[in-house]
Structure 1
Amino acid sequence: MTAYRARLTEVDIRRLIKATDEDERAAAAHKLCRSMDKAELDDEGRAAAQKILRLLAEDAAELVRRAMAVTLKASDLIPHDVARRLAADVDSVALPIIHFSPAFTDDDLIEIVRAGSSVRQVAVASRPRVGRDVADVLAETGSEPAVRALASNDNADIAEAALGRCVDRFSGSSEIVTALAYRQVLPLSVTERLVELASDAVREHLIARHAVAPETAIRLANFARERATIDLVDQAIGQADLGAFVAGLNARRVLTASLLLRALARGQMALFEHGIAELAGAPHARAALMIHDAGPLGLRAIYDRAGLPPRLFQAFRAGVDTWRTLQAEGVDTSGDLFRQQMLERYLTQRPHAPREDMAYLMERLDQTPAVVQPKGAAAA
Structure 2
Amino acid sequence: MASGSLRVNETDLKLLIRSEVEEERATVTHKLCRSMDRMVLGDEERLAAQKMIAYLSRDTAELVRRALAVTLRASNLMPNEVALRLAADADTVAIPMISQSPVFCDDDLIAIVRAGRIFAQIAVASRQGLSRDVAEVVASDAAVEAVRRLAANDNADFSERAMAIAVDRFGHDEETVTTLANRHILPPSIVDRLVLVATEQVKQHLISRHKVSVDAAVRLSDFARERATLDLLDESIRSQNLPEFVKTLNARRALNASLLLRAVARGQMTFFEHGLSMLAQVPHHRAWLMIHDAGPLGFRAIYDRAGMPPRLFSAFRAGVDTWRSMQAEGAELDAEAFRLRMLERFMTQMHTLGRDDLDYLMERLDMVPTRDHAYAARPHIAVA
Shorter-chain TM-score category? 0.5 to 0.7
**Structure 2 residue 266 is matched with structure 1 residue 266:** no
Q: Report the Cα distance in structure 2 between the residues aligned to 1:103 and 1:149, rounded to whole angstroms.
A: 22
Tell me how far 1:54 sits from its aligned partner.
0.8
The answer to whether the 8 A contact 2:192-2:220 is kept is no
Q: Write the deviation string for residues 69-118 of structure 1: whole angstroms up to 9, x where unpaired.
A: 11111222211111111112222211211111111000001111111111
Check 1:226–1:188 CA distance in 2 against 1; reply closer, same or farther (3 A cut). closer
Check 1:2–1:220 CA distance in 2 against 1; reply closer, same or farther (3 A cut). closer
Check 1:11–1:196 CA distance in 2 against 1; reply closer, same or farther (3 A cut). same
SS at 1:347 equivalent? helix
Check 1:158–1:225 CA distance in 2 against 1; reply closer, same or farther (3 A cut). closer
Check 1:60–1:222 CA distance in 2 against 1; reply closer, same or farther (3 A cut). closer
Paired amino acid for 1:90 = A
Residue aligning to 1:348? 280
**Structure 2 residue 71 is matched with structure 1 residue 71:** yes
SS at 1:127 equivalent? coil
Q: Report the Cα distance in structure 2 between the residues aligned to 1:157 and 1:95, rounded to whole angstroms.
A: 21
The answer to whether the 8 A contact 1:87-1:98 is kept is yes
The answer to whether the 8 A contact 2:279-2:307 is kept is no
Q: Report the Cα distance in structure 1 between the residues aligned to 2:252 and 2:68, rounded to whole angstroms.
A: 72
Residue aligning to 1:35? 35
Q: Report the Cα distance in structure 2 between the residues aligned to 1:342 and 1:166, rounded to whole angstroms.
A: 38
Segments of structure 1 that go 5 or more residues without pairing to the other structure are: 228-261, 269-340, 356-380
Check 1:348–1:39 CA distance in 2 against 1; reply closer, same or farther (3 A cut). same
- Residues 19-168 of structure 1: pairs in structure 2 closer than 5 A: 19-168=19-168
Q: Report the Cα distance in structure 2 between the residues aligned to 1:30 and 1:267, rounded to whole angstroms.
A: 68
Decide which moves more: 39-48 or 107-116.
39-48
Q: Write the deviation string for residues 282-320 of structure 1: whole angstroms up to 9, x where unpaired.
A: xxxxxxxxxxxxxxxxxxxxxxxxxxxxxxxxxxxxxxx
Tell me how far 1:51 sits from its aligned partner.
1.2
Tell me how far 1:210 sits from its aligned partner.
2.3
Check 1:75–1:189 CA distance in 2 against 1; reply closer, same or farther (3 A cut). same
The answer to whether the 8 A contact 1:15-1:28 is kept is yes
Q: Write the deviation string for residues 174-201 of structure 1: whole angstroms up to 9, x where unpaired.
A: 1111111112222111111001111222
- Residues 275-294 of structure 1: pairs in structure 2 closer than 5 A: none
Q: Report the Cα distance in structure 2 between the residues aligned to 1:177 and 1:223, rounded to whole angstroms.
A: 16
Q: Report the Cα distance in structure 1 between the residues aligned to 2:62 and 2:223, rounded to whole angstroms.
A: 60
Check 1:136–1:38 CA distance in 2 against 1; reply closer, same or farther (3 A cut). same
Paired amino acid for 2:215 = I
- Residues 305-344 of structure 1: pairs in structure 2 closer than 5 A: none
Tell me how far 1:121 sits from its aligned partner.
0.7
Tell me how far 1:36 sits from its aligned partner.
1.5
Tell me how far 1:11 sits from its aligned partner.
4.4
Paired amino acid for 1:65 = R
Q: Report the Cα distance in structure 2 between the residues aligned to 1:186 and 1:203, rounded to whole angstroms.
A: 14
Tell me how far 1:12 sits from its aligned partner.
2.5
**Structure 2 residue 215 is matched with structure 1 residue 218:** yes
Paired amino acid for 2:40 = E
Paired amino acid for 1:112 = I
Q: Report the Cα distance in structure 1 between the residues aligned to 2:128 and 2:79, rounded to whole angstroms.
A: 19
Paired positions, count = 248
SS at 2:77 equivalent? coil
Tell me how far 1:133 sits from its aligned partner.
1.1
Check 1:148–1:11 CA distance in 2 against 1; reply closer, same or farther (3 A cut). same
Q: Report the Cα distance in structure 2 between the residues aligned to 1:147 and 1:200, rounded to whole angstroms.
A: 22
Tell me how far 1:28 sits from its aligned partner.
1.0
Tell me how far 1:7 sits from its aligned partner.
5.9
Segments of structure 2 that go 5 or more residues without pairing to the other structure are: 225-246, 254-272, 282-303, 310-384
Q: Report the Cα distance in structure 1 between the residues aligned to 2:195 and 2:20, rounded to whole angstroms.
A: 61
Q: Report the Cα distance in structure 2 between the residues aligned to 1:208 and 1:51, rounded to whole angstroms.
A: 56
Check 1:151–1:223 CA distance in 2 against 1; reply closer, same or farther (3 A cut). closer
The answer to whether the 8 A contact 1:9-1:32 is kept is no
Q: Write the deviation string for residues 213-235 of structure 1: whole angstroms up to 9, x where unpaired.
A: x5xx41324677999xxxxxxxx
Tell me how far 1:5 sits from its aligned partner.
8.4
The answer to whether the 8 A contact 2:6-2:49 is kept is no
Decide which moves more: 3-12 or 122-131.
3-12
Q: Report the Cα distance in structure 1 between the residues aligned to 2:159 and 2:92, rounded to whole angstroms.
A: 31
Q: Report the Cα distance in structure 1 between the residues aligned to 2:190 and 2:274, rounded to whole angstroms.
A: 39
Check 1:27–1:345 CA distance in 2 against 1; reply closer, same or farther (3 A cut). same
Tell me how far 1:37 sits from its aligned partner.
1.6
Q: Write the deviation string for residues 109-142 of structure 1: whole angstroms up to 9, x where unpaired.
A: 1111111111111111111121111111111111
SS at 2:172 equivalent? coil
SS at 1:104 equivalent? coil
Q: Report the Cα distance in structure 2 between the residues aligned to 1:267 and 1:15, rounded to whole angstroms.
A: 78
TM (norm. structure 2) is 0.57
Paired amino acid for 1:115 = A
